Amino acid sequence: MEMSEMPNGEVKKRGKMVIFISGKGGVGKTVLSVNSAVELAERGFSTCLMDGDFQFGDLNLALDLQPSFTISDLISGAESLDNIKISYYLDRHKSGVNVLSAPIKPEQADLIENIHVKKICSKILEEHDYLIVDLPSRLSENNLTFMELADQIFLITDTSFTAVKNTKIMLRITKLLNMDDRIQVIINRSDAQGLIKAVDVKNMLDIGDAIYISNNTKIVSRSFAMGIPFVNDKPRERISKDIDLLVDRICGK
């Protein structure tokens, strides 16, 4: 976390921004971002979870949360984002995580510009230890803005050929953009039965290190359907312990 000096000489802490992105949909990105945010809150950190998929985001479903406000309300309801009280637009989940939901209507996504993203993230980071952002599976202009702002980028893949291929492309592009020093690859469902093994994925991507998350389709499906993060509901399961190790990485342990 960064420190900055205020006009009165006091030192103000800036939170850490962590994003989850993937080259292919359906690899478990939202599940990992939600459970990581909940685990951070469980450890006592003030945590905000932001839905960066402005068209089809569903973080609120994963948390069984009916949003009072969305990012569209924040932008349209404020004369200036510079002086906005960001906490007013965040929904508090029972886990302690504050949530900024995506717009209800997909067409409202077009009204969210890069300058909005930058100012909103800055405001959230002033009031939270961690900002976790769940991004859609593409390299859009908004996604690149989020990635430029992030302190840590988790690139999610599974062991399917399409996911690995797209992840390799993402790694090449982020290296060209000088973002590779902030990227860590997560191989989700790493022990799932298939033609490609997790160790093969690591070799195919030509990376020295990867984070492995075990497969548990039953628990994950139930968790998402009920809107109950499994790190709360099933803390002793191996997948929950994998999230615990992932959060250790986020915290710099």
* pLDDT tens track for 102-125: 999 999 999 899 999 999 999 999
Q: What is the DSSP string of 60-111?
A: HHHTT---S-BHHHHHHH-S-GGG--GGGGPEEPTTS-EEEBPPSSGGGGGG
pLDDT tens-digit readout, 10-51: 556 789 999 999 999 999 999 999 999 999 999 999 999 999
Cβ contact 39:33 at 8 Å: no
Give the pLDDT confidence of 130-153 residue by residue, as tens digits.
Answer: 999 999 998 888 999 999 999 999
Is the separation of the CB atoms in 14 and 126 below 8 Å? yes
Confidence class of residue 238 from pLDDT cuts 50, 70 and 90?
very high
Mean pLDDT of 175-196: 94
For 13-250, CATH number out of 3.40.50.300, 1.10.357.10, 3.30.420.40, 3.30.565.10 equals 3.40.50.300
Q: What backbone torsions phi and psi does residue 104 show, to the nearest 5 degrees?
A: -70, -40
Residue spans of the domains in the chain: they are: 13-250
pLDDT of residue 5: 47
Q: Are the beta carbons of 219 and 234 closer than 8 angstroms? A: yes
